[in-house]
Amino acid sequence: MSDPTDHFPELTARIAALEAERALTLRLAQTDSLTGLLNRGAFTSALCERLEAEGAGPLSLFVIDVDRLKHLNDTLGHHAGDLMLTEIGARLRADAGRDELMARLGGHEFAVISTVEDVGPRAQRLVDILTRPLSIYGRTVTLEVAVGVASHPADAGDAIDLQRFADLALHRVKLRGGARRWSAFDAELRAQAEQRRTLEADLRRAIAEGEIEPWFQPVINSDDGRIVGVEVLARWRHPARGLLLPGAFVPMAEELDLIGRIDEAVFEAACASAAPWVEEGLIDTLSCNVSPRNLVDPAFARKLMRRLARTDLPPTALVVEITETFLLQDMTLARRHIERLAARGIQVALDDFGTGYSNLRALMNLPIQALKLDLSLIADLGRDTRVSRLVGAMLHAARNLGVNIVAEGVENEAQALFLRAAGCDRMQGYWFARPMPGPEMEVMLRAPAPRQIPTSLAHLRLRRA
Ligand code: C2E
Ligand code: CA
Ligand code: CA
C-alpha cells in the first residue's frame, strides 16, 4: 500500500516544515547563540552518551579557559567581548577534527571532546589557534589561554570525574603560569584529588563534631599597650593532623559551601567566650571575620543580627570584618550590609586594607569604624621607604577623616614604634601576642600584672588598664 501522504502534497510539505522547525528549535536549545558551539547542557549530555555508548573507545576532554575577556569587556565594552567570543567559536569550529565536539561551557570557558591518541599536540594546537592575535576596533588583542586535559578510561570512568580532573589540570596551568599553557591530568593531580576528597569528608565530620574552634588574638591600644579587643580566628583541631590554620581549610570550605556553617560555629563559640569578658570590662570589642561567600547573601545582616541576639554579646561590642576586596567587588551590596549593621550599633572594619586600591574618600561615605592595614604593608615597613611613606600618608589621611586604623601583623619593636609615632590607633601581631585558645586568652585578660613582652619600652607593654 502506498503512503497516504503521497496523495496529499500539501500535508507532506506541512509535515516537512514542522519537522524542520522542530529540528531548528532543538538545535537552538543546544547551541550557544554567540559562538554557534554546543552549550553546556548539550555538551554534558553528549559526553555522557559517548561514555555510555557500547564499546566506547578512549576519549579525552579538553577544557579551555580564555583570560583577558573580562579585561576586554571592561576596556573596550561588552560588544568587543562578544566579538572575541564569536571569533573563538569560529576558530574552534574551523579546527574541529573528525568526531570532535566543541562547546562553550559559559563565560570564558570552552571544551572539546576528542578521540586523538596523543593529547599533547592537540592541546598545544588549541593554544596556538586561540592565541593568534586578533584585531578588534583597530586594536590588536592577544588572549591568554589555558587548557586542561583528562582522558577516558585512563584517568576517569565517568563524566563527572572526567570534568573534575580536566578542571584540576587546567587549574594547575593557571597556578603555575609560565610558557606551557596546557597540562594533562596525572599521578600528582590524582594524589591531590584523593587528598581533597578525604579532607572534604573530614571537614564535614569536623564541623558536626565541633572540631573547629575559636582562637583569639589581642588587639592593642597603641597609646598605653592595653588590650582593647580580640579578633577571633578559626582553628581546626584535627585528630590526626594536629592543629590546622584557616589557610588549610577555609578555601576548601568556601568551595564546598561549608564556610557558612564554619563562620556560624566560630561566631557562636566566640560570642559565648567573649560576652563575659565584655561584661566585666576586660575588653571592649570582639572582631569576627566573614567570608565573602556569606556576604553575597542579601540577608546576611539580618541573619547575623538574629544570631547575635541569641548570645549575650551587646551589638556595640561586635566588630564585623569585611575585606576590602569584597567591598570593591560589590559596593552596592556591601553598603547595604554595612548600613544595616551600623544602624544596630554593630561596628564594621575593613580587613586587608591596602591590598585592593580603594579610594579612601569613597570609603568615607560608609559608616566604617576602622581600617585594618594589611600585614603585607606592615612587613615592608622599614624595608621599603616608599611603603613607610605610604603607610604614614594613609594614617595621616585616616586621622583627618576620623576613622581608626588597626595595624595587623606587627612582628617587631621597630614596626610598633613607627606605627605609634605615625598615629596608628591599634595594633595586632605576634610581637604582642599570637592567637591563642579561649582559656589562655582568658588567663591573659585576667592577669593582675602586665605580661612581660620582649621590649625595653614600658609604654608598649601589653597590659590592662
Ligand atoms: P585575617 O583576618 O587577615 O587575620 C590575620 C591573620 O594574620 C591571622 O592568620 C593571624 O594569625 C595572622 N597574624 C597575626 N599576627 C601576625 C603577625 O605578627 N605576623 C604574621 N605573619 N601573621 C600574623 P590566620 O589565623 O591563619 O587566618 C588567616 C585568614 O583566615 C584570616 O586573615 C581570615 O581572613 C581567615 N579566617 C580566620 N578565621 C576565620 C573564620 O572564622 N571565618 C572566615 N570566613 N575566615 C577566617
Ligand atoms: Ca581579620
Ligand atoms: Ca587582615
Could you give the CA distance from residue 297 to residue 304 in angstroms, rounded to a whole number?
Answer: 11
Q: Whose CA is nearest to atom 21 of ligand 1?
A: 409
For 98, the enclosing helix (H) or strand (E) is none
Q: What is the mean pLDDT of residues 419-423?
A: 91
Query: Which of 239, 180, 177, 182 shows the shortest CA–CA distance to 209?
Result: 239
Query: Is the separation of the CB atoms in 121 and 103 below 8 Å?
Result: no
Query: Is the separation of the CB atoms in 324 and 318 below 8 Å?
Result: no
**Is residue 347 very low, low, confident or very high in pLDDT (cuts 50, 70, 90)?**
very high
Bin 309: left if φ > 0, else alpha if -120 < ψ < 50, else beta: alpha
Q: List Cβ<8 Å contacts ≥24 apart for 408-414.
A: 408/372, 408/373, 408/374, 408/375, 408/378, 409/374, 409/375, 409/376, 409/378, 409/379, 410/378, 411/378, 411/379, 413/455, 413/456, 413/457, 413/460, 414/381, 414/382
Q: Is 266 in the pocket of ligand 1 (CB under 6 A)?
A: yes
375 CA → ligand 2 middle, Å: 10
Query: Which of 398, 386, 458 shows the shortest CA–CA distance to 425?
Result: 398
Count of residues in the chain: 465
- Under 8 Å CB-to-CB from 347, ≥6 apart: which residues? 285, 316, 318, 319, 320, 341, 369, 370
Comparing 88-92, 198-202, 423-427, the range with the smallest average pLDDT is 198-202
Query: Is the separation of the CB atoms in 411 and 431 below 8 Å?
Result: yes
Query: Is the separation of the CB atoms in 63 and 110 below 8 Å?
Result: yes
Q: What is the pLDDT of residues 144-156, one digit of tens each?
A: 999 999 999 999 9
**Is residue 465 very low, low, confident or very high in pLDDT (cuts 50, 70, 90)?**
very low
351 CA → ligand 3 middle, Å: 5
DSSP secondary structure of 424-459: --EE-STTT---EEHHHHHHHHH-SSPBP-S-S-GG
Q: Pick the residue with more confidence: 430 or 457?
A: 430
Q: Is 408 in the pocket of ligand 1 (CB under 6 A)?
A: yes
Could you give the CA distance from residue 232 to residue 200 in angstroms, rounded to a whole number?
Answer: 23
- Under 8 Å CB-to-CB from 179, ≥6 apart: which residues? none
Q: What is the mean pLDDT of residues 440-462?
A: 63
Q: What CATH topology corresponds to 201-460?
A: TIM Barrel (3.20.20)
Catalytic residues: 408
In the numeric block, the cell 614604634 is attached to 417
For the chain, give the percent of residues with pLDDT over 90: 61
How is residue 67 written as a grid cell?
Answer: 583570560
**Is residue 462 very low, low, confident or very high in pLDDT (cuts 50, 70, 90)?**
very low
Q: What is the pLDDT of residues 44-61, one digit of tens each?
A: 999 999 998 877 789 999
Q: What is the mean pLDDT of residues 197-222?
A: 93
pLDDT higher than 70, residue 341: yes
Q: What is the pLDDT of residues 83-123, one digit of tens each?
A: 889 999 999 999 999 889 999 998 899 999 999 999 999 99
Centre a 10 Å sphere on the Cβ of residue 338 and count the other Cβ atoms it contains.
21
The atom of ligand 1 lying closest to the CA of 374 is 3
pTM of the predicted model as reported, rounded to 2 decimal places? 0.73
Q: Pick the residue with more confidence: 313 or 367?
A: 313
356 CA → ligand 2 middle, Å: 15
pLDDT higher than 60, residue 420: yes
pLDDT higher than 80, residue 72: no
Could you give the CA distance from residue 72 to residue 81 in angstroms, rounded to a whole number?
Answer: 6
Q: Pick the residue with more confidence: 72 or 440?
A: 440
State which residues have CB under 5 angstroms from ligand 3, the bound ion. 351-352
**E runs forming strands in 227-358:** 227-238, 242-244, 285-289, 318-323, 347-353
**Is residue 441 very low, low, confident or very high in pLDDT (cuts 50, 70, 90)?**
very high
Report the pLDDT value the prediction gives residue 464, as an integer from 0 to 100: 36
- The domains of the chain are located at 17-185, 201-460
Q: What CATH topology corresponds to 17-185?
A: Alpha-Beta Plaits (3.30.70)
**Is residue 6 very low, low, confident or very high in pLDDT (cuts 50, 70, 90)?**
low
Q: What is the mean pLDDT of residues 70-83?
A: 77
How is residue 258 written as a grid cell?
Answer: 561549608
Centre a 10 Å sphere on the Cβ of residue 316 and count the other Cβ atoms it contains.
13
